[in-house]
Each structure stands twice: as structure tokens, then as C-alpha cells.
Amino acid sequence: MLDLGRFQTILMDMDGVIYRGPQPLPGVNDLLALCAQRGIRYACVTNNSTLTPAQYETKLAGMGIHIPAAQIITPSVATRRMLERDFPR
């Protein structure tokens, strides 16, 4: 088993890592609960920009996976953050 004690933050891909098709992958909710219990921050990343983080939150909730939109990073979110950082108004 992976020793999570070494980690402060975990980045997880979404499709194929926490779910496949309409089904959550085994152990995903156990992993999220363990992260919460141990104070390990996590975020889910995707290279798919067809949904917003809020839409992903709803999609995941429909699978029984509860991840807040603020912890979901899409290409659009990453681009916005980079532009805000590198080109402030």
C-alpha cells in the first residue's frame, strides 16, 4: 500500500483514475476520506474542458464521489489562473 504520510498534496487525474465512464473506480471514496482524515490536500485535474468545475462536481456527485468544484482543475481554470498571475490588470 502507498505510504500517504509522505505527501502534503495529491493531484489526481479524473477520467480513468477516479472514475471510468459512469462508474467510480474502487477505493476512490476511501482515498478521499483518508486524505481528509490525515489533512492531505488534494485536487482533481483533467485535460477535458467540456465541463466547468461545477458541472464536474455535479457529475461526480451522481457517482457518489463528493469533490468540491474548487478542487477541480480544468484546462480553462489553469489557463485563467496563469493569465491572472502573469498578466495582472
Over the stretch 63-84, which tens digit does the pLDDT of each residue have? 999 999 999 999 999 999 999 9
Strand partners, 13: 45
What is the CB neighbour count within 10 angstroms for residue 76?
Answer: 13
Q: How many whole angstroms separate alpha carbon 74 and alpha carbon 64?
A: 20
Among residues 43, 42, 35, the alpha carbon closest in space to that of 73 is found at 43
Instruction: Tell me the per-residue pLDDT of 31-70, one tens digit each, with 9 for 90 and over.
Output: 999 999 999 999 999 999 999 999 999 999 999 999 999 9
Domain boundary assignment for the chain: 7-41
